[in-house]
């Protein structure tokens, strides 16, 4: 009996949602101005480096400003943690890869969903020389320039200040033997400004 009540309540919710006029859904203004994003996900290496590093967790923060509804500029910081998997010894070693970059984002909105592409440049730091054994790093090398590009989609909540997003980024670190990888993340965005 309880299960039947839950099913009926769920169906009633669907009917109510379906009966909301499309105009009401389209009238979902998104805020524009200064915003922050916090995201989590996973990063994996591409090419030969796949053999020397396991896929690892990643966290990132972005601070940006919407110059127009379709263009924003920002500063992003990302840290990823990877288990190093070169031939032993050593075994069980982990390292962190830190990236900081400035970037630009181009996008457009369709009702409550926004699509975007982004790209930028900055610097990266690696916490260990464990990949020096497989010639990814030169002796004493820890810093490099960094390039990144990607895209994603964002869902605007009814509260115009909040949005959830899903994004993917390709990055390359030229001085680390052209080390490259792909990052996937989900994020929450909060915008401090007014509506579009």
CATH number of the domain to which 13 belongs: 2.40.160.20
Query: pLDDT per residue over 52-89, tens digit each?
Result: 899 999 999 999 999 998 999 999 999 999 998 888 87
pLDDT at 32: 85
> Average pLDDT for residues 100-116, to the nearest whole number?
94
Helix%, strand%, coil% for the chain, nearest 5: 15, 60, 25
pLDDT at 137: 80
Query: pLDDT per residue over 8-17, tens digit each?
Result: 445 444 444 4
> Average pLDDT for residues 43-47, to the nearest whole number?
93
> Average pLDDT for residues 130-159, to the nearest whole number?
90
Least confident of 6-10, 29-33, 41-45, 72-76: 6-10
pLDDT at 28: 53
Q: Please, which pLDDT band fits residue 187 given cuts at 50, 70 and 90?
A: very high
Q: What is the pTM of this model?
A: 0.79
pLDDT at 108: 92
Q: Where in the sequence is the domain holding 105, given as residue range(s)?
A: 2-195
For residue 141, is pLDDT > 90? no
Burial label for 28, CB within 10 Å (0-12, 13-18, 19+), is: middle
Mean pLDDT, the chain, integer: 85
For residue 92, is pLDDT > 60? yes
* Residue spans of beta strands (DSSP E) within 20-161: 31-32, 34-45, 56-68, 71-83, 94-110, 113-126, 143-156
How many domains does the chain contain in total? 1
End-to-end CA gap in the chain: 48
Beta-carbon contacts of 195 under 8 Å, excluding residues fewer than 6 positions away, are: 29, 30, 31, 32, 160
List, in sequence order, every residue forming a beta bridge with 77; answer none if it has no partner. Answer: 61, 100
> Which of the two residues, 9 and 193, has the higher pLDDT score?
193
pLDDT at 196: 52
CB 136 within 8 A of CB 150: no
pLDDT at 25: 41
Determine how many CB atoms are found less than 10 A away from the CB of residue 62: 22
Going by their DSSP bridges, the two strands 94-110 and 194-195 should be labelled as unpaired
Burial label for 126, CB within 10 Å (0-12, 13-18, 19+), is: buried
For residue 183, is pLDDT > 90? yes
What is d(CA 134, CA 86) in angstroms, rounded to the nearest whole number?
A: 7
């Amino acid at each position: 009996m309880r299960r039947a009540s839950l099913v009926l309540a769920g169906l009633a919710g669907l009917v109510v949602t379906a009966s909301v006029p499309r105009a009401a859904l389209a009238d979902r203004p998104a805020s524009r101005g200064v915003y922050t994003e916090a995201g989590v996900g996973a990063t994996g290496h591409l090419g030969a480096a796949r053999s020397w590093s396991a896929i690892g967790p990643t966290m990132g923060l972005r601070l940006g400003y919407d110059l127009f509804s379709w263009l924003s500029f920002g500063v992003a910081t990302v840290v990823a943690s990877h288990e190093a998997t070169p031939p032993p010894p050593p075994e069980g070693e982990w390292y962190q890869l830190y990236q900081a970059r400035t970037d630009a984002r181009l996008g457009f909105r369709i009702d409550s969903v926004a699509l975007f592409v982004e790209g930028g440049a900055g610097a990266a730091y690696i916490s260990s020389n464990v990949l020096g054994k497989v010639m990814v790093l030169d002796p004493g090398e820890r810093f490099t320039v960094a390039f990144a590009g990607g895209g994603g989609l964002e869902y605007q909540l009814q509260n115009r200040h909040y949005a959830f997003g899903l994004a993917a980024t390709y990055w390359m670190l030229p001085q680390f033997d052209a080390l490259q990888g792909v990052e996937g993340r989900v994020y929450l965005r909060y915008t401090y400004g007014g509506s579009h």
